[in-house]
Structure formats: C-alpha cells, structure tokens
Structure 1
Amino acid sequence: MRRTLTAALSIAMVVALSGCTLVSTLAAGDTPTDTPTPEITGSGDSTTDPSPPDDGGSDVDGSGDDGAGDGPPAIPSDVPLALGEAGEIEGRGGNPVGTFQVDGVTTGFDDCVEPEEGLSYVQVDLTITAEDDLAAEEGSLDYATSFALFLLYVKGPNGEYLGDWLGHECVPSSEWIDDVGPGESATGSVWMSVQTPVDEGLIEWRYGHQNFVVPFP
C-alpha cells in the first residue's frame, strides 16, 4: 500500500513539472522556427523598378522635329560693312530682299534749321534698294514689308549708344530719305542727334536677324 502511494505521488510530480515547463515556454513568447516561406511566382519583374520608362519622346542628339531652332536667331548677328559697301538684306527665310549701303557720314552738321541746345548733328547718306520679294515678308516689326530707318543708330567706337533718329525737324522732310517699299530704291540722307560731338564711331541699322555695322570716318 505504501509502495503504491509512493508511485502515485511520483507520477503526479512528473505531470506537475511538465505543466510548469509548458507554461514557462508559452510565457517566454517563443514561436516555432520552421515558419514556411511563401513561394514567389511570376517572371521576376519588379513592380517598383526605379528606372524611368522610355517614352520614346527623348531626342538626345537633337535630330527630332520638336519645332526648336526654326527661323532666324533671336539676337541679330552683326554684318560689318565699309563706307560705300553694299550689304545684302535677308528676309526671314534667308532669301535676299534688298541692299543697304552707307555712302558717307558728316559729323558736326551745322545746317539744321532749328538746332536744339546741347545737341550735335550727324548726317548719314544712304542708298537702299528693295526687291519685289520684300512684299512676301510677314509684316512684323522685325520683318516689315518696307525698309524704315527708325532703327538707325549712331554709336561710339566701342559700341556705346550716342544717338538716333531726330525727335524734331532739323531739315525739311522733302530732303529725308523715305521708307523704301518692294521694287523701289532710294538715295538720300537722314539726320541724327547726338548728346556730344563725335568724330568717329559706328552707324548701325537692323532688319530682322541682321545688324549692319558701318564704322566712320
């Protein structure tokens, strides 16, 4: 009877100890280490590829027709001329539409009918021709259908601005060279006012993408 009781007590102690071990394991938060890894299927292409897609619109060598570069440059290029030398005037498309020539420059012009105090005057003698094709230009300020001279300037030897078209009448308008239209030519003079007397410098006139530059004397 005592042996049976002892055996029963031993079994009870083993069961109790096993229960304590199980409770201790669960309390520690241990998880099984044999967690299965989900199988990844497909072609292997990532949906978060950082490289940008090729949209076909990039033209690295600039050969694509994106509209850029059409027409003349925005900044006029200088066309150097000597006194008495005719320069070819180009239209927007580069086609010849006339010629521009400075025949002579008279500084210190003193025959002004109504001289303005503090100003000196420069007479510029010009010969201008216009081709019939000038009529086909767009008619804008840069590419007008006639050659006007309000964009004529007097500058110093280093290109500094000195004066331009007279703001008041110096000589009778009948003596001025007028606008030159398609198929026309004209020879005459314009008079410019400058703030200080000038003996040398530049005469400049612009049409479209050309800036004609004529040094004097």
Structure 2
Amino acid sequence: MKQYFINTWEGLWTVLVGMKITFKHLFDPAVTIQYPDVKPTMPERARNRLFVNMDDCIGCDQCARACPVNCISIETLKSTPDDTPGETSQGKKKALWVTKFDIDIAKCCFCSLCVYPCPTECIEMTKVYEFSEFERNDLIYKFAVLTPEEITDKTQKYDEFQAAKEAEKLAAAKAKAEKAKQDAAKKADDNPDKKAE
C-alpha cells in the first residue's frame, strides 16, 4: 500500500516538473501579434520583394548579370535619334528601350546583389514580404511598360533606321570609289608619258 502512494506521488511530481514551464508562462502577457490584422514592422535593411522604377532603368543589364540565381530577365532595343526613351530622374540619357524586365520572385534568394551594381538605383528591396500566389506564373513580376504594339513599332523604326544608315554607307562608299576612279583617270590623263611607256 505504501508503494502505491509513492508511485502516485512520483507520477504527480513528474507531471508538475514537466508542467513547470507551462505554469510559469501561463499568466505572462502574450507576445504574438494578431498577424493578419496587425503586421510586424520590418527592419530598415530588410530584404524582401524587389521593385524596379522603370522611369530610371537604362537597360544596362548589370542587375541581371549580378544575380546568382538568374531570376532577372532583361531584353532591350536600341533607340533611334528621333525616338529616344528620355532621361532618368538623375538626368542620365537613356539609349535603350527596355522591352522586357521580368523578375522571377520564386527563384529569387533575396541576396540584394542586384541592387548594388545599378548605376541609376532603379532597383530596390521593398518592405513588402507577403507575396504568396495560387499560380506559379503569378510569381514572375513584369516591370516593362511597353505594350507589344509599341515594341513592334519601335523595332520597325530601328530596322528602318539601320537600313537607311546602311544605304547611306553604301552610297558614301560608292561615291568614294567613283571619286577614286575619276581621280585615277584624271591622273592617267595628266601623265601621258607614263601611259606610253
């Protein structure tokens, strides 16, 4: 009978020792926040979702080259002298149209290596950390502002500009060759003695 009470006491004591931490924190104020309604404040240098200010992007591709996981995809198109993309907010002239600027946030490792090499500081980490989606393709953020029609138009303008430039080069080369031919003929006419020899 004595052993029965000892076993009961030891079992109760073991539960009390195990529940010591629970009883200790039972009446402490809660430290968790009501997440959907109250959101935590992010530190100043938190690395979260990327944002690209396309008004400042010059299409230099340095961010894509710096990315260790190749989650940034950029395509550009050269501008023509009569159709330029304008200037950045810092006054730097743009020479390229950015036709595609996609960031696959599912591949992004949030290392922030793409932010530092940007000469115009157009790519930055934001404080937005919620970006779960139902579809995988919704995690590819498209920042380019040109429509497909504008891209086609600008491609056609550039092709026409290049064709005109090539035609101008050919005409200049032809004129130069014609002038050289005339100069050679004139020189031959001026020196009849050499011609006779």
Same fold, TM-score > 0.5, yes or no: no
Which entry has the higher C-alpha Rg, 1 or 2? Answer: 1
Q: TM-score, normalised by structure 2?
A: 0.25
> Which has the larger helix fraction?
2
Q: TM-score, normalised by structure 1?
A: 0.23
